[in-house]
Amino acid sequence: MADLRDPFSFGYMWRWPSPLHHRAMQRLEGWALRGADRIIVNTPTALATYRRLYSDISGERWWVLPNGFDPDDFPERSQEKRSSERLTIVYTGSLAGYTPEEIEAARRKGRKGARFLSFQSGTCDPTTRSGYFLLQGVARALEAEPALRRMLRIDLIGKIDPRNERLARSLGIEDVVSFHAPIPHDEALRRAAAADLLFLPLEQGVAGERTPYIPGKAYEYLAMRKPVLLLAGDSDTREILERAGLAFPTPPDDPEAIAARIVELHRTFRQVGTIPVSPDEAYIERFRADRQAETFCAILREAEGGEAVEFPATPVTLEGKK
């Protein structure tokens, strides 16, 4: 059994010392996958890419099983409306701070940011998985609606790249955006659960490609049933959060669109005291950890020659076996 979480040989988070190192690791990956009776990946896009890369591996050996959430990890949800006019947006976790200019300069120099992805070079842009475009959007929102300055609060909590704080100061929005040191995970979940709106930025596919990642935070957001300011293009993550009824998708690299979305959501918040969402409970329940464990066990039984798998928690658009 080969159980892959994030992609390995074509994941943009991996940096190879040379193309030779990358090819060697790809051969090692191929050896491991070809020797497995069943191969599990956790996103539809990762499956499609792996199937292209290892087209000689028969289809019945591939399965998609996403990550999920344990309901016991999360505080009880509050349904009450806020009396305050201040909209609080929260992000907890790690947040990069690179800018488009820095990424491009690094690529030109062949140092940080270089990607030795022999078959997928240039198809994933990590720049948008940072605070850069959010902060630019907030600055534009405050320019368009100066009254927002006293009615908007953004808390970025965790391992936040210092460049984000420097950018906030340079944009003159440090009174709206607060930066906080890492906190224990259970406390981070409580802070997120108390927010009016959650924030999630994603890397962006280019050249028509989807990114092969669904961050673990997306599953936490499913568990919380909170509205999400989602800076994402076409992706598996967007598909999941939209189908769950939680996402307010916004172009991830367009500060004007981000500003307009923030103004729109704050207007709604002022009118009704919350940002209404309609969670699809039946869909969200598919991602419970106990359901995912049932499916994993069923795959093991099927691999041993047992009964065919009946998926109790089929995610997104995939129907299990491909």
What DSSP string describes 115-174?
---TTTTTSEEGGGSBSHHHHHHHHHHHHH-GGGGGTEEEEEEEEE-HHHHHHHHHHT-T
Q: For residue 177, give the nearest of 205, 201, 149 by alpha carbon.
A: 149
Domains of the chain: 2-68+288-303 (no CATH), 72-272 (3.40.50.2000)
In this predicted structure, what is the pLDDT of residue 4? 87
pLDDT in tens, 64-79: 999 999 999 987 766 5
In this predicted structure, what is the pLDDT of residue 208? 72
φ/ψ of residue 173, rounded to 5: -120, 20
Q: What is the dihedral of CA 180, 183, 187, 193, to 10 degrees?
A: 40
**Alpha carbon separation from 288 to 70, 158, 293, 321 (Å, rounded):** 6, 25, 9, 20
pLDDT in tens, 80-127: 556 578 999 999 999 999 887 876 776 665 544 444 343 334 457 788
Number of neighbours of residue 112 by Cβ within 10 angstroms: 12
In this predicted structure, what is the pLDDT of residue 321? 46
Q: What is the dihedral of CA 270, 160, 11, 192, to 10 degrees?
A: -40
The length of the chain is 322
In this predicted structure, what is the pLDDT of residue 126? 80
Extract the residue ranges of the chain whose pLDDT is less than 50.
111-122, 311-322
